[in-house]
Amino acid sequence: MTTTPAQNAALNAAPLPDPVRQPAYAELERRHARLHRLEHLGAIVGWDQAANMPPKGNEARAAAMAELDALLHAQRTDAALTDLLARAGQEPLDDWQRANLREMRRDWRASNALPASLVERRTLATARCEHAWRGQRPANDWAGFVENFKPVLQVAREEAQHLSDATGVSPYDALMDRYEPGMTSAEVGRVFSDLKTWLPGLIREVQARQASEPPVLQPQGPFDRRTQKALSLEVMGRLGFDFDAGRLDESTHPFSGGVPEDVRLTTRYLDDDLQQALMGTVHETGHARYEQNLPRSWLGQPIARARSYGIHESQSLSFEMQLGAHPGFVGQMAPLLARHFGDQPAFAPDNLARLVTRVQPGLIRVDADEVTYPAHVILRFEIEQALFEGGLAVEDIPALWDEKMAAYLGLDTRGNHRDGAMQDVHWPSGAFGYFPCYTLGAMFAAQWFAAMRRATPDLDARLGAGDFAPVFGWLGEHIWSQASRWETPELALRASGEPLNPAHYRAHLERRYLGR
Catalytic residues: 284
Q: What is the H or E stretch that residue 246 is in?
A: strand 246-250
Instruction: Kindly give, in sequence order, each residue whose CB lies less than 8 Å from that of residue 515, ignoring residues fewer than 6 positions away.
Output: none
Other C-beta atoms closer than 10 Å to the C-beta of 272 total 11
Indicate the DSSP class of residue 238.
H
Beta partners for residue 313, in sequence order: none
**Beta strand 246-250 with 262-267: parallel, antiparallel or unpaired?**
parallel
Asked if 496 and 475 count as a contact pair (C-beta separation under 8 A), the reply is no
- Nearest partner of 260 among 293, 302, 298, judged by Cα: 293
Alpha-carbon span 146 to 479, nearest angstrom:
40
- Supply angle C-alpha 283, 288, 292, rounded to 5: 155
Other C-beta atoms closer than 10 Å to the C-beta of 180 total 25
Q: What is the H or E stretch that residue 263 is in?
A: strand 262-267
Alpha-carbon span 49 to 224, nearest angstrom:
25
Count of H-run helices and E-run strands, the chain: 21, 3
Beta partners for residue 247, in sequence order: 264
Residue 441: Cβ-neighbour burial (10 angstroms; 0-12, 13-18, 19+): buried
